[in-house]
Amino acid sequence: MPKHIHWYPGHIAKAQRQLKEKLNLVDVIIEVIDARIPYSSWYKSTSDLCNSKPRIILMNKADVSDKDLNSIWADTIKKASNCEVIITSLNNKSDTELIIKKITNLASDMTEKRKQKGLLPRAVRTMVVGMPNVGKSSTINRLVKRSKTKTGAKAGVTKQQQWVRINDKIELLDTPGIIPTVQNDQYQALKLACVNSIGENAYDSEYVAEELLKILNNRYQDNIRKYFGFNDEDITIENIAFKKNWILKNNVADIKRTSEIFLSNFRDGKIGKFTLETPEEYELI
């Protein structure tokens, strides 16, 4: 299977078109990124796409990313984007009130203008955008406190836009994940594959697992040694297979099974809370 990662299913091209079409209707944009790869999951064209609409960035999945790096990344992205950045996660109840408050604040101009024109007040329309699987639909459900939108642990669950009303003051538009047309930066594409933001048919799991292990060996070697019960040996997918007894006939490591379980456990945060990139790598600080 080719190592090159390319993924751009038809529904994403359509999603991007529909996003532009709806832009005039919305007052505020919420952009969701994945705290484990804040830079790689940050759709750099959003600012062009969204013109100068007020925008909030949610750095989601903070429960499975490196706590120390969360605040560093949040500050960095805030400076680079000139937008409010809120660190969020599915199980954090307290951030929902903050998000609602920020949406209301950002829409105050619109509300004020309507008032001055003598128009009746209307709900703030908020569009939730971001790359696939970063947690857009889950965030909406959290804000509504109900499962109004479909969610799932793979890329491309939301296929169509859907309006959801939080209360009489705010309406949210869920949108399908969008991704650049071409993955020019293959290292970024690899990291998107690590967090399940790219359809699994577009990459070779063994390659992605091996590359993820390289990153973790580099940044979090002690944590993963402890997790897998190694002392000071090099950790490879093969070593993990032998350690876990995931062995095929003739005493050969089951690399495919080990890679898939390794990726799945990483995605669920079972191996540890890891962030795969730093602002320094991108010369952001």
Q: Contact residues for ligand GTP (CB under 6 A)?
A: 60-61, 63-64, 89-90, 130, 132-138, 151-153, 155-158, 176-177, 269
Residue 38 DSSP symbol: T
Q: Closer to Mg ion by CB, 41 or 137: give it.
A: 137
Q: Closer to ligand GTP by CB, 254 or 277: give it.
A: 277
The least CB distance from residue 40 to ligand GTP, in Å, is 15
Q: Could you tell me if 266 and 255 are in contact, meaning their C-beta atoms sit under 8 angstroms apart?
A: no
Beta bridge partners of 126: 28, 172
The least CB distance from residue 145 to ligand GTP, in Å, is 15
Q: Which does 121 bind (CB under 5 to 8 A by kind): ligand GTP, Mg ion, none?
A: none
Q: Closer to Mg ion by CB, 127 or 224: give it.
A: 127
Provide the token pair at 118: 């003598």
Closest CA to 15 of 175, 132, 172, 171: 175
Q: Which of 60, 76, 158, 196 binds Mg ion (CB under 5 A)?
A: 158
Instruction: Rule CB under 5 A: say whether 137 interacts with Mg ion.
Output: yes
Q: Closer to ligand GTP by CB, 153 or 285: give it.
A: 153
Phi, then psi, of 163 in degrees rounded to 5: -85, 140
Instruction: Rule CB under 5 A: say whether 188 interacts with Mg ion.
Output: no
Q: Which does 238 bind (CB under 5 to 8 A by kind): Mg ion, ligand GTP, none?
A: none
Q: Which does 204 bind (CB under 5 to 8 A by kind): Mg ion, ligand GTP, none?
A: none
Residue 135 gets the label, from left (phi > 0), alpha (psi -120 to 50) or beta, of: left
Provide the token pair at 91: 């199980």
Provide the token pair at 5: 């990662």
72: burial class by Cβ within 10 Å (0-12, 13-18, 19+)?
middle
Instruction: Rule CB under 5 A: say whether 138 interacts with Mg ion.
Output: no
Distance between CA atoms of 209 and 266, rounded to whole angstroms? 10
The least CB distance from residue 23 to ligand GTP, in Å, is 18
The least CB distance from residue 150 to Mg ion, in Å, is 7
| Angle at CA of residue 14, ends 13 and 18, nearest 5° | 120
Binding site for Mg ion (CB under 5 A): 136-137, 157-158
